[in-house]
Structure 1
Amino acid sequence: MALRNQVMIWIGFLVVLILAIWVFRGILLPFVVGAALAYLLNPLVNQLQKWRFSRTWATVVVLLLMLTIIIALFVMFVPLIGQQIVGLIQRLPAYVSDLQQLAIDYSPTINEWLGAERAAQVQASINDLTRQALGFIATIPGELVNIGITGAVVVGLMVLTPVVAFYLLLDWEGMVRGIDGLLPKEHKSEIKGILQEIDKSMAGVIRGQGGVLLIDAAFYATALSLAGLNYGLAVGLIAGLMSFIPYAGFTIGLGLSVGIAFVQFAPNWWMVGLIAGIFLFWQFIEGNVLYPKLVGSSININPVWMMFALLALGAVFGFVGLLLAVPMAAIASVLVRFGVRKYKESYLYLGPNGGGDGNDGMA
């Protein structure tokens, strides 16, 4: 088959896939989460099989264990977390007003430091940020509905996700054999190499980065709570769980916590510095210890491309798009690297001399 025809077939397949996701985006959430859960748990099921469990019993044991842990955490922590998050959302307008009042109270000192003109610019910036923050808070309920987080979706997620994960785990080996049997024989080894790269990248995204995200959330929530920050548990969880967007978790968490610390602890600037130091310290640990150990070089995605994928797919497909954005970006990154390798091996790149400069052997 000509290269042009192959490219057209793959482009057509991609267009059909995107249209299918867009048409069925309202019902895809349990299936996407179930597939991610199955992919995450498959190594555990494989390990139990090595210990002489049947595939069925291994799937049942792993899923029951996971569901038990999730339900236990839900019962123990969700009421407290929900109370803190609701309280934080309700209190945010008051925090913003308190920050404005602090700026007014310290305006003589600010004028002395910055000068009257610069201080006026700072005050205008604070007022602008205040309006934006209050506007954002007012839109939160509507945005949750727009991206599909409603009571019916949550119930469907809780009921369907375990069922989807169970059947995918049960037939995982059969699906792998089926896909392997459909690969064109002439290019089978090359395609399997690409699929192995995609699997490695997806493992880095779902397992490695997911582990970093959970550790971030646990550290921030614990550290801010121990430091005595109001709503520290909620702020820490928000910062940790937003870490899947490059720098977003750190930026949002730092801004929220330092803003609350100013209102709560001023003029005790040491405590404000401690709250900021928690984020700066953990950002260093995440970048130099956690990320290299748990994720390593398996993802290799530019942060700008990651943010674009999250915003683009989130805008088109809603919450399902946000869940699909990171793995889709990982797959696209593998395919682009493969395409670049093939291009550099092609006649178009090497030219008629096969990469030579045409001057070989000339004086």
Structure 2
Amino acid sequence: MNQVAPLEEIARFLRHIKRGALSLALVWVIWLLAPILTPFVASLMLAWLGDPLVDRLEAAGRSRNTAVLLVFALMIVLITLALLILVPMLQSQVTTLVGALPAMQQWLLEGAIPALEKRLGFTAAEWMDPQRIIDWVRSHWQAAGGAAATVFGYLGRSSFAVVTFVVNLLLTPIVTYYFLRDWDRMVERVAALIPRDHIGTVSKLASESNEVLGAFMRGQFVVMLALGAIYASGMALIGLNLGLLIGMVAGLISFIPYLGATTGVILAVLAALVQAQGVDIKLLAGVAVVFTVGQLLESYVLTPRIVGDKIGLHPVAVIFAVMAGGQLFGFLGMLLALPVAAVANVLLRYAQERYRSSELYAGHSAIIVPAGVGDPPDPLTPVVTEEPKKS
């Protein structure tokens, strides 16, 4: 018996090492394939969002293929309507922005830069002289050549990125349809791979993760749209010409705590300064009021009522997850960051429960209390319940 226990410990340790190695290999493969995985991940999310409605239609008596076609058509119609409404509005805003560029340049050269020169005591206007710029480039031609190579390389990568974006955009609806059609079959195949002695625990964690992800994805999407509408309508009311564009940008990136509001305030203040050709206290005060009201509504009305407290993610954890995902896997990492963080939060809560019920946490000084006996004398002392022995 004494020799069996160490062998079991060694075997368990080797199994842990094997699982860790497989996990690292999986992460490495995802990192390598990140540039082509984006449409598949986006399609997987869309299929996951649409599957409950497909199941309801199936329960109402329709076939799986009919239900999938109806839900897929509904998705296409909603996206098309959104584009038909938003694209003309954005086009108008972009036209306004392009038309305001000469006024922006004039204000920058004749108003902002002279004011900064006067306050800070340096001369910046001479650097706006084209001949001076040409002379500076000639004197630093080697560095300029390296910078030019970097810029052209970036433009080449950007052109390839545009082509990739178009391909992904065309590929996403096709993959979404197949994921929706075969969703239940894929879930069954994944469930069949789970070891039978862990099926109960995995099912419980999967159900809880699904609930958390559903609350986050659906709720956060509604909050983003609501904030975009609040910011855009508010800045339109105060008379900011680019208010719609700025409000939509601030709303779409509001899933990162405080980033949407901060970005919106900076862009709105710059737009207000350019539009007024200086400091307009009334316009700037209007911007402050709009974003203050938006943040108050998000904090005390929208997020508590729509998202709720099921996510349990601290704002710092959200910011770190998005930055880490973007750093490791690019856009795919940013797309997966918050869902992965929500699931990881569920797993961490489960690990905490296991730890608190383990001997490592309870220690050897735990009081053994038979089942059915009253409370222990000291509430701070860990308790291990002992079932009564059968006679």
Normalised to the residue count of structure 2, the TM-score between the two structures is: 0.74
* Separation in 2, partners of 1:338, 1:148: 46
Aligned mate of 1:296, from 303, 308, 320? 308
Task: Indicate yes or no: 2:296 matched with 1:281.
Answer: no
* Separation in 1, partners of 2:284, 2:206: 48
1:53 maps to 62
Task: Indicate yes or no: 2:86 matched with 1:77.
Answer: yes
Task: Indicate yes or no: 2:30 matched with 1:18.
Answer: no
Aligned mate of 1:325, from 329, 337, 353? 337
User: Which residue identity is paired with 2:331?
Assistant: F
Is the contact made by 1:38 and 1:166 (CA closer than 8 Å) also made in structure 2?
A: yes
Gaps of 5+ in 1: 109-118, 125-138
| 1:239 counterpart SS class | helix
Q: Provide closer, same or farther for how the CA distance between residues 355 and 264 of structure 1 changes in structure 2, counting only shifts above 3 A.
A: farther
Is the contact made by 1:147 and 1:319 (CA closer than 8 Å) also made in structure 2?
A: no
| Displacement of 1:83 | 5.8
Aligned sequence identity (%) = 34
The runs of 4+ residues in structure 1 deviating greater than 6 Å are 139-149
| Displacement of 1:146 | 6.5
Q: Provide closer, same or farther for how the CA distance between residues 12 and 270 of structure 1 changes in structure 2, counting only shifts above 3 A.
A: same
Task: Indicate yes or no: 2:251 matched with 1:240.
Answer: yes
Is the contact made by 2:107 and 2:274 (CA closer than 8 Å) also made in structure 1?
A: no
Is the contact made by 1:194 and 1:334 (CA closer than 8 Å) also made in structure 2?
A: yes
Task: Indicate yes or no: 2:236 matched with 1:225.
Answer: yes
User: Which residue identity is paired with 2:348?
Assistant: V
2:204 maps to 193
| Displacement of 1:267 | 4.9
In the comparison of the two structures, how many residue pairs are matched? 333
User: Which residue identity is paired with 1:81?
Assistant: L
* Separation in 2, partners of 1:334, 1:341: 11
Is the contact made by 1:147 and 1:318 (CA closer than 8 Å) also made in structure 2?
A: no
| 1:33 counterpart SS class | helix
Highest RCO, 1 vs 2 (Cα 8 Å, sep ≥ 6):
1
* Separation in 2, partners of 1:99, 1:292: 47
| Displacement of 1:32 | 1.0
| Displacement of 1:181 | 2.5
Q: Provide closer, same or farther for how the CA distance between residues 268 and 83 of structure 1 changes in structure 2, counting only shifts above 3 A.
A: closer
| Displacement of 1:318 | 1.2
Q: Provide closer, same or farther for how the CA distance between residues 220 and 10 of structure 1 changes in structure 2, counting only shifts above 3 A.
A: farther
- Structure showing greater Rg: 2
CA RMSD of aligned residues (A): 3.5
Normalised to the residue count of structure 1, the TM-score between the two structures is: 0.80
| 1:183 counterpart SS class | coil
Is the contact made by 2:54 and 2:68 (CA closer than 8 Å) also made in structure 1?
A: yes
| Displacement of 1:61 | 0.9
Q: Provide closer, same or farther for how the CA distance between residues 4 and 196 of structure 1 changes in structure 2, counting only shifts above 3 A.
A: farther
